[in-house]
Each structure stands twice: as C-alpha cells, then as structure tokens.
Chains A and B, each alone.
Chain A
Amino acid sequence: GAVVSQHPSWVICKSGTSVKIECRSLDFQATTMFWYRQFPKQSLMLMATSNEGSKATYEQGVEKDKFLINHASLTLSTLTVTSAHPEDSSFYICSVVQAEKLFFGSGTQLSVL
C-alpha cells in the first residue's frame, strides 16, 4: 500500500504559537489527503479533506482559520495549527486513500502548554 510520512512525530509548544505538520505521500500521487484528530481512547474524527491545488473541505465544527491546510503538490499536504491552545492538544494523523483503503502517516502528538 501507499507509504505516508508525517512529521514531526511529536511537538510541544507554548500557548499562542503556531505549529506546522507535514504529510508526504512517498510512493503515490495523492490528489486527496485526509486529516484526522484523535483524543485519548477515542475514535478518529475527520477534520478536513485536503485537495491538491484547491481549498480544503472542512468538517462541520472545525475552524478553517485555526487549522490551515495547504496541499500544494500531489505528494505534500500541511496542517498548521494557528495560535494553539491547550485544548488543541491531541494526536493528529494524515492519510491517503488508495483503492478504498486508507493509509496513514505515523501521527503527530501535539502538546500545548
């Protein structure tokens, strides 16, 4: 299946700063990437669908101005958490879809102090 690389694996930042997370599809041209958020012992919640060369589609309740998504190429999507606050602390995971299967990056654990 598709190989997806996500960086960083973990990040600790101060409240009010911005954090960028990169998601790369290493062997597959991904016109679409998905960004999920997962709180401890909970399911994956879709935040947004990232579309190459166009604006991302955000799920209801997700602030597009807070979670900036850029999908400038077929292999790279980035999620920027702007002005992060402690309630944004979570596990963020990107994925690509190939033949009805999702392949995930390794995830980014964000801790906002």
Chain B
Amino acid sequence: GQSLEQPSEVTAVEGAIVQINCTYQTSGFYGLSWYQQHDGGAPTFLSYNGLDGLEETGRFSSFLSRSDSYGYLLLQELQMKDSASYFCAAYGQNFVFGPGTRLSVLP
C-alpha cells in the first residue's frame, strides 16, 4: 500500500519561513510533488523532486531524501495569500496524496 503523513496544521506570521514535512511509504516510487489548494479551489502544482536534494522555485523550495522516505516544502517570506492547504503527493503507479497541511499566515 501507499501512505503519506503530514502535519495537519501549521501557523506562522507574515515574512516568516515555514517548513512542511512529508514522510511516505510507497512501492514503485518515482518522486514527490507538492500542491497548493485554496479553499474552494483546485490544487495547483508547486514543485517536484525526482532526485534527492533541493529544488528551488522562487519563494518555494522542496527537498527529497529517498533513503529517509522524507521530503519537505519550504516557504519563505510568507505572505497572507499563502494561507492554504498544502499536499505532498507520491508519484509511483499513480499519484497518492498526503492528508494535507493547513497553513495559516497571520499578520
């Protein structure tokens, strides 16, 4: 089977840095991706790690360690608009999503 774990909620203030962790147990793993979803909207792609290490895309970075079955999403210079749910997803035979982390950014 496949399962992923994430913290359910994270709170931070504007301008801060926050890290959302994701651990996974999957078979046939190719990579880990991250998606952002605002209330009432559809998920949007943020980042993908097919190899170990850090991927940087603007204020967002993502990290993967295959040996630890672990990854994280790093959000820098937080803005109010970053308040949303963030999902990690393991890409294998198909995409399996984690339970999601609700990020609240406070002024």
Query: Known contacts being A43-B99, A46-B96, A49-B94, is A100 close to B42, with CB within 8 Å?
Result: no
Sorting the interface of chain A by its residue count into under 10, 10 to 19, 20 to 34 or 35 or more gives 20 to 34
The residues of B that contact A107 with a CB separation of less than 8 Å are 41-42
Q: Are A100 and B50 in contact (CB under 8 A)?
A: yes
Interface string of B33-48 (1 = CB under 8 A from A): 1010000011111001
Q: Are B95 and A34 in contact (CB under 8 A)?
A: yes
Q: Are A43 and B98 in contact (CB under 8 A)?
A: yes
A97 to B98, CA, bound (A): 18
Q: Are B45 and A103 in contact (CB under 8 A)?
A: yes
Q: Which residue of A lies closest to B93 (CB)?
A: A49
Q: Is the interface of A mostly helix, strand, loop or mixed?
A: strand
A46 to B94, CA, bound (A): 9
Q: Are B42 and A105 in contact (CB under 8 A)?
A: yes
Q: Which residue of B lies closest to A36 (CB)?
A: B97
Tell me, rounded to whole Å, the shortest Cβ–Cβ distance linking B8 to chain A. 10
A13 to B80, CA, bound (A): 36
B100 interface residue per 8 A CB criterion: yes
Q: Are B89 and A102 in contact (CB under 8 A)?
A: yes
Interface residue from B33, B35, B41, B87 paired with A100 (Cβ < 8 Å): B33
Contacting B at CB under 8 A, from A34-55, are 34, 36, 41-46, 49
Q: Are B87 and A104 in contact (CB under 8 A)?
A: no
A101 to B98, CA, bound (A): 16
A93 interface residue per 8 A CB criterion: yes
Query: Which residues of A pack against B, CB within 8 Å?
Result: 1, 6, 34, 36, 41-46, 49, 93, 97, 100-107
Query: Which residues of B pack against A, CB within 8 Å?
Result: 30-31, 33, 35, 41-45, 48, 50, 87, 89, 91, 94-100, 102
The 9 A-B pairs of least Cβ separation, nearest first, read A104-B42, A44-B97, A107-B42, A43-B97, A101-B45, A43-B99, A43-B100, A106-B42, A104-B43
Return 8 A-B CB contacts under 8 Å, by A number. A1-B45, A34-B94, A42-B99, A46-B97, A100-B48, A100-B50, A101-B33, A106-B42
